[in-house]
Structure 1
Amino acid sequence: MAGPGAWKRLKSLLRKDDTPLFLNDTSAFDFSDEVSDEGLSRFNKLRVVVADDDSEAPERPVNGAHPALQADDDSLLDQDLPLTNSQLSLKMDPCDNCSKRRELLKQRKVKTRLTIAAVLYLLFMIGELVEVLSAMISVMLVYVLMGFLLYEAVQRTIHMNYEINGDVMLITAAVGVAVNVIMGFLLNQSGHHHSHAHSHSLPSNSPSMVSSGHNHGQDSLAVRAAFVHALGDLVQSVGVLIAAYIIRFKPEYKIADPICTYIFSLLVAFTTFRIIWDTVVIILEGVPSHLNVDYIKESLMKIEDVYSVEDLNIWSLTSGKSTAIVHMQLIPGSSSKWEEVQSKAKHLLLNTFGMYKCTIQLQSYRQEVIRTCANCHSSST
């Protein structure tokens, strides 16, 4: 009697069919125990049938069911082999990757331009502040030297155990006086030329000027600091020269050396205070000392068709360069004359008061209407 294995082999021989099986999503598979392993090896090849290939699709039922046709635009058509990665990349829409690459390139270009702009802005900003920073460094060096000399003077005053060669001190002080006189003369001439180049734009009787004879705010801050530095050295050299004469002929009065150091150190501190103040004003973008904001505001109010000056901001960009931002309101009905008003205000700020840059905002005057609800009105009454 034949065993169950022979019966299964017979069934598989009867079912043998060389035609490929056309399967779809609705095809039913029968993986019961009656199917042998040899029969399963025939299900290694799938065929996708879409609506465009309905002419080639078999009319007879396959695997006990008819193929279900789907009317969609699949990119996978009648293929017997699976698609490789390169074929899938060719079938994909190229716009996705291209658009992403273009966006990345745009972002890189924008970042590069922003970085270059930031670096250039930093360099120009440092270039504008070089004069201010050099003046500050020059004054700081004077203060450091003054502190060292004061320390030595205090030590000599307390201990009195020092000897001074009057001849060497006299010669050194005389050379120092001569050198500092020449330097002060050259720097003073340079400072005056710079001041005259800017002083013609301001009227001599303008209240916006300081009470001094010339405009310190328009001078080069670095030149002023160098001049004060040379002046301080000159004063100190004169003091040393006087002390040297006293010590040369009266050695017992050697206390004159630290006394001269005390006196002329205080003079140097007072002369450099103005430089420090102007430097701090520029760094903190304060109002220049040679400009009177109230007077400028009154001058703007005198312009025809100007109702009020709401805001007026003035600050120093660097030595001799001031800028202003002003917000003015026009008389109702005169908005058509805004160009004339703007031209007059700009001429007043740039030419009369010597501004480097100015921004003028004009607006027609509108009376504010106070709106309150009934409850607020009743509570206030």
Structure 2
Amino acid sequence: MGAGHSHGGADVRVGRMATASAILAAFFVVEITTALAIGSLALLADAGHMLTDLVALFMGLTALLLARRRATAARTYGWHRAEVFTAVGNAVLLLGVAAFILYEAVERLGRRPEIAGLPMIVVALLGLGANIAVMLLLRSHAEGSLAVKGAYLEVVADTISSVGVLIAGIVTVTTRWPYADTVVAVLVALWVLPRAIALARAALHILSESSPKHIDVDELRSALTAVDGVVEVHDLHVWTLAPGRDMATAHLATDGRSDRVLADARAVLAARGLGHATVQVETPGDSAGCPEQTDL
């Protein structure tokens, strides 16, 4: 079965990721410079998230560009899995930054850090504007690509971080409480952790070739068995190559009375979003030598 693939959507994603990278790179220089100058842990945490945003965007761009390369004899599926590996890398980066900030916060316990609140407020406002702009660029494409989703989630986390830094700056200026900066940094780190874990789980679910969560494999087997002329379904496998590219293979044993088995089976699969499917039609005797396998 043939299928057409348009690069239009990919071109838009690449363009938006490139624009988002330029915005965040410019702001990262401002934020890391200010954080080091005034000794703000909250700003440093936000700068760390910003750095992971930039790495995530770079890896996402690389993955999207690789995915557009043609399949070869050595890589018959092409580079579609690149964005899944990118999502794992993004999750590891997020977890690393969160762990570092928590460690630094513990190190500051018992001390009274002197933080300048006004620079925190100014930089946080600039960061909030940059993050919102990037979120708007990536939001519409986040569900169709794990590479974009990983970058989008990191920018969302960084947006929350910017809000936290803004609050910490206001509290520092108005109350002179020295731990507002540290408390906000810890809260941001704790907010990021479950989202990083969720992103890693989604990517590992694909890499382990588990069946897509939206596909009921038992129901699919029943639907294929119900196709006129089919007497048995075996070697049924369903997995995800990359987000939006679910794959399936199935062997259908038939009674030989229907010449529409293949077309009807493909229709059943296509109705469940499995347009990329390989269906083998055979007589019951042909399956005798097939090894028993567990369906995915």
Total equivalences in the alignment = 216
Separation (CA, whole Å) in 2 of partners of 1:189 and 1:360: 34
Task: State the match for 1:335 in structure 2.
Answer: 256
Q: Displacement of 1:124 after TM fit?
A: 6.0
Partners of 1:311 and 1:129 in 2: CA distance: 23
Whether the aligned pair in 2 keeps the contact of 1:154 and 1:258 (CA below 8 Å) is no
In the TM superposition, residue 226 of structure 1 has moved relative to its aligned partner by 0.8
**Among residues 72, 90, 95, which one is paired with 1:143 in the alignment?**
95
Q: Which residue of 2 aligns with 1:155?
A: 107
**1:80 corresponds to:** none
Q: Secondary structure at the match of 2:81?
A: helix
Distance 1:271 1:281, change over 3 A: same
Listed as ranges, the matches of 1:340-359 within 5 Å are 340-349=260-269, 351-359=270-278
Aligned to 2:268, the other structure's residue is in SS state helix
Q: Say if 1:282 and 1:316, in contact at 8 Å, map to a contact too.
A: yes
Identical residues among aligned pairs (%)? 27
The residue that corresponds to 1:314 in the other structure is 238
Q: 1:275 aligns with which of 195, 199, 208?
A: 199
Tell me, in whole angstroms, the C-alpha distance in 2 between the residues paired with 1:309 and 1:139: 38
Give the number of the structure whose alpha-carbon radius of gyration is greater: 1
Q: Measure the CA separation in 1 of the matches of 2:77 and 2:262.
A: 29
Question: Structure 2: 5+ residue runs without aligned partners?
Answer: 1-70, 286-296
Q: Cα offset for 1:270?
A: 1.6
User: Which residue of the partner structure matches residue 279 of structure 2?
Assistant: 360
Residue in 2 aligned with 1:50? none
Specify the code of the residue in structure 2 equivalent to 1:302: A
- Cα distance in 1 for residues equivalent to 2:78 and 2:165: 39
Partners of 2:229 and 2:257 within 8 A in 1? no
Aligned-partner Cα distance in 2 for 1:322–1:147:
35
How far apart in 1 are the matches of 2:175 and 2:151? 35
Q: Provide the residue aligned with 1:266 in structure 2.
A: 190
Question: CA–CA distance in 1 between the matches of 2:152 and 2:278?
Answer: 35
Pairwise CA distance, 1:122:
4.3
For 2:260 and 2:78, how far apart are their aligned partners in 1? 37
Deviation string 1:72-113 (CA, Å, 9 cap, x unpaired) is: xxxxxxxxxxxxxxxxxxxxxxxxxxxxxxxxxxxxxxxxxx
Match of 2:219 among 291, 295, 310: 295
Name structure 1 gaps, 5 residues minimum: 1-118, 192-215, 367-381
For the structure 1 residues 124 and 231, does the alpha-carbon distance in structure 2 shift closer, same or farther, using more than 3 Å as the test?
farther
Query: Does the C-alpha gap of structure 1 residues 143 and 164 become closer, same or farther in structure 2, counting only changes over 3 Å?
Result: same
Partner of 2:141: 190
Counterpart in the other structure of 1:12: none
Q: Which residue of 2 aligns with 1:62?
A: none
Highest RCO, 1 vs 2 (Cα 8 Å, sep ≥ 6): 2
Q: What TM-score, normalized by structure 1, do the two folds share?
A: 0.52
Amino acid across the alignment from 2:136: F
Q: Deviations over 1:176-201 (max 9, x none)?
A: 1111111111110233xxxxxxxxxx
312-321 vs 352-361, which moves further: 352-361
2: distance between equivalents of 1:226 and 1:346? 35
CA distance in 2, matches of 1:233, 1:322: 31
Aligned CA distance change for structure 1 residues 126 and 144 (closer, same or farther; 3 Å)? farther
Residues 124, 171 of structure 1: CA spacing in aligned structure 2 closer, same or farther, 3 A cutoff? farther
Where 2:227 maps in the other structure, the secondary structure is coil
**CA separation of 1:294 and 1:237: change in aligned 2, threshold 3 A:** same
Equivalent residues in 2 for 1:221-232 (5 A)?
221-232=146-157
The alpha-carbon deviation at position 125 of structure 1 amounts to 5.5
Aligned mates of 1:137, 1:328 — CA distance in 2? 39
